Amino acid sequence: MEELVRTNDPVLISFLESLMRDAGIVCMVADQTMSILDGSIGAIPRRVLVDSDRIEEARSIVTDVGLGAELRDRKPT
């Protein structure tokens, strides 16, 4: 899995999960339990991860809805 977005915004996370679900792209939100440990002050951002073979499609969907600035930079290959 590859990181699509890293954020503290629960509304954005929910929206991204919905977009991925509608597109049939498997995603997961990492670090949810860590955010509970910080007392919900938002010190530890959560990561939205998608299957590596669908990362480009997911990035395109996020960009198409106007949230391209939220995307994580690609790792150099």
Quote the pLDDT of residue 63: 97
Q: Find all residues with CB under 8 Å of 28, minimum gap 6, and list them.
A: 1, 48, 49
Model-wide pTM > 0.85:
no
- What is each CA distance from 72 to 9, 36, 40, 62, 64, in whole angstroms? 15, 23, 23, 11, 15
Give the CB-side neighbour count of residue 5, counting CA atoms within 13 A.
Answer: 28
Give yes or no for residue 73 having a pLDDT over 70.
yes
pLDDT of residue 36: 57
Q: Which pLDDT does position 43 carry in this prediction?
A: 72
Which band of pLDDT confidence, cut at 50, 70 and 90, is reported for residue 66?
A: very high
- pLDDT tops 70 at residue 75: no
